[in-house]
Structure 1
Amino acid sequence: MSDLLRLQVDGPVARITLARAEKLNALTVPMLDALDAACGQLERTPSVRAVVLDSENPKAFCSGADIAEWGALTPSEMWRVWTRIGHRIFDRLATLPQPTIAAIHGLAFGGGLELAMACDLRVAASNSTFALPEASVGAIPGWGGTKRLARLIGPSRAKYMVFRSARIDASTALAWGLVEEVVEAASLSIRAHEIAREIASRAPESVQLSKQLIDAEAGGLSAETIAAGLALALPNGREGAEAFKAKRDPSFTDS
């Protein structure tokens, strides 16, 4: 996949690992491109039923977007390239058919926290620290952070974090609903994969349709995608497709 990001598949569970350890996994365009490619592969692999996203550096899940890449951009470049790429790829991660679990230890700052929030679930090590510090450098969260943070912890707490560039610890993140579980650092990978295997043991259609319905209710992926799939699976949907291929008029029946 990439020296900066690895994708491993072990039966029904896949693992995406951020591997720019020496830079605390600060996100670059090549890393985003690798994540995009990983999502594309997972979309085409229905045998994968759950995905764990983690880091090989125990000091940081992800320290955020690499300021060396975006700090010199013009406003036009920032809009045309940087923010649009991040939005598109994080949204692709969020809308994967498979449930995703972020296994977080150390820092989850800025774009790193936005990346974690694009996952369905978050399990954190007790040494984790969370922040959207963009206001301290004259920026704003640009990859969906304000929307996802407010949805998870509420508008007032989101404002508290964003306005102050405030850092919160794992216990606060758990109490506020930013993460679902907090475990000791040594147990983080084990626990994240336990949850992934449990999800993978359930009926995949039930899990994936439930994900889409919950996300649609929360203002994410439209329920239209479910309806479109259902329509094609029904007898009249199959008849329409067969008639089109046979170049004949369809013969629809009452449900």
Structure 2
Amino acid sequence: MPELDLLQVLDLDSAGVNWADEAAVGRFAAGLRQCLAPGPHGPGAVGVVGVASRPLPRSAGPVLEQLTVTLAQGPAPWCAGSRADLPSVLATADRAPGATRVLLELLRTGGCADVGHGLLVESLAYSMLLAGPEFRCWRASTPAAPPVEVEQPVLLSRRGARLEVVLNRPERHNAWGRQVRDGFLAGLELAELDPALTEVVVRGAGPSYCSGGDLDEFGTAPDVVSAHAVRLARSGALAVTRLRERLGPGLRFELHGLCIGAGIEIPAAAGRVVADPDTRFRLPELSLGLVPGAGGTVTLPRRIGRWRTAWMALTGADVDAGTAREWGLVDEVR
């Protein structure tokens, strides 16, 4: 395995493991587990990316489970993409090593936490990166436009026991800014407080459900401590999780067009997610020197596993609606 700054690459074509030999597979997996275990001098490697040109059998699971992701055809939830994605993955780690390290550490530890704890740790990590050099470099190269106030950033309509929540900034593809966030949370709070509401449907006006965080608002908090406090107090993913506990699949997100960053991180917490065939999903945060900060390191692994979540973040590639349904990122395509 050639050693890189953050990631090691394991070529499974030449690893010499007999996948039919359960004992051999177990020994190989144990060696990887030891390589990645934290110790007094830090982990031996932050991540290991597997690659294979041939389809991998399910018997390889104990080894694949230890890896960051495996770029190959193979069993769920460990495999995604192909060997051709490796240059993109390594380029991401090279451009944003700090954010990549934090992402991999979050994904390896987040599966043990409940949702609230996971969101707390994610917020701490995200807020720390806001003060880091990678985000500062991106912000300097991408000047923010002045904020624009809109009258009705979210539309609420009620008919009997059904509440509809519609993100309403179509000219910005319903970017997840302060006004949209607050209107969304007001709708969910109404549903949480009124037991007569048994169905809540969330959708977006215009060409997309939500294109992710409003880039003009990134880094505008007075300090990272304040950013962390607001992120937790106004967490869309946490509000969805609370309401899902009462409504189950009665809390439904209807997605279409672009669903980037927060546009999938928050819906992934819902009891039911449906998508139009044209829907595209993406996690681009590493390109900004950040990690998913709207709950993605918590909500997506619970739907598709930490391995495919890592693939989405490390490649920044689109996931189409069919693949999202196959993975379990959405429950229905219609």
Q: Same fold (TM over 0.5)?
A: yes
For the 8 Å contact 1:61–1:107, the answer to whether it is kept is yes
Alignment RMSD? 1.6
* Cα offset, 1:75, TM superposition: 3.1
1:8 is matched with which residue? 157
For the 8 Å contact 2:266–2:299, the answer to whether it is kept is no
Q: Does the residue aligned with 2:194 lie in a helix, a strand or coil?
A: coil
Separation (CA, whole Å) in 1 of partners of 2:233 and 2:261? 16
Which of 303, 306, 320 is equivalent to 1:152?
A: 303
* Cα offset, 1:145, TM superposition: 0.6
1:167 is matched with which residue? 318
| 1:141 matches 2:286 | no
Whichever residue aligns with residue 47 of structure 1, its letter is A
Separation (CA, whole Å) in 2 of partners of 1:115 and 1:22? 21
Which of 255, 261, 264 is equivalent to 1:104?
A: 255
Which of 201, 210, 215 is equivalent to 1:62?
A: 210
Q: Does the residue aligned with 2:299 lie in a helix, a strand or coil?
A: helix
| 1:28 matches 2:159 | no
Structure 1 residues 113 and 86, CA gap change in structure 2 (3 angstroms) = farther
* Cα offset, 1:78, TM superposition: 2.9
* Cα offset, 1:6, TM superposition: 1.2
User: What is the correspondence of 1:1-255 to structure 2 with a 5 Å cutoff?
Assistant: 3-57=152-206, 59-73=207-221, 74-81=223-230, 83-87=231-235, 89-96=236-243, 97-98=246-247, 99-183=250-334
TM-score (norm 2): 0.51
Q: Does the residue aligned with 1:139 lie in a helix, a strand or coil?
A: coil
For the 8 Å contact 1:135–1:164, the answer to whether it is kept is no
1:180-213 per-residue CA deviation (whole Å, 9 max, x = no partner) reads 1111xxxxxxxxxxxxxxxxxxxxxxxxxxxxxx
* Cα offset, 1:176, TM superposition: 0.5
For the 8 Å contact 2:237–2:267, the answer to whether it is kept is no
1:203-227 per-residue CA deviation (whole Å, 9 max, x = no partner) reads xxxxxxxxxxxxxxxxxxxxxxxxx
Q: Which stretches in structure 1 are left out of the alignment for 5+ residues? A: 184-255
Q: Which stretches in structure 2 are left out of the alignment for 5+ residues? A: 1-150
Matched length: 179
1:206 is matched with which residue? none
Separation (CA, whole Å) in 1 of partners of 2:177 and 2:318? 23
Structure 1 residues 165 and 77, CA gap change in structure 2 (3 angstroms) = farther
Separation (CA, whole Å) in 1 of partners of 2:171 and 2:212? 13
TM-score (norm 1): 0.66
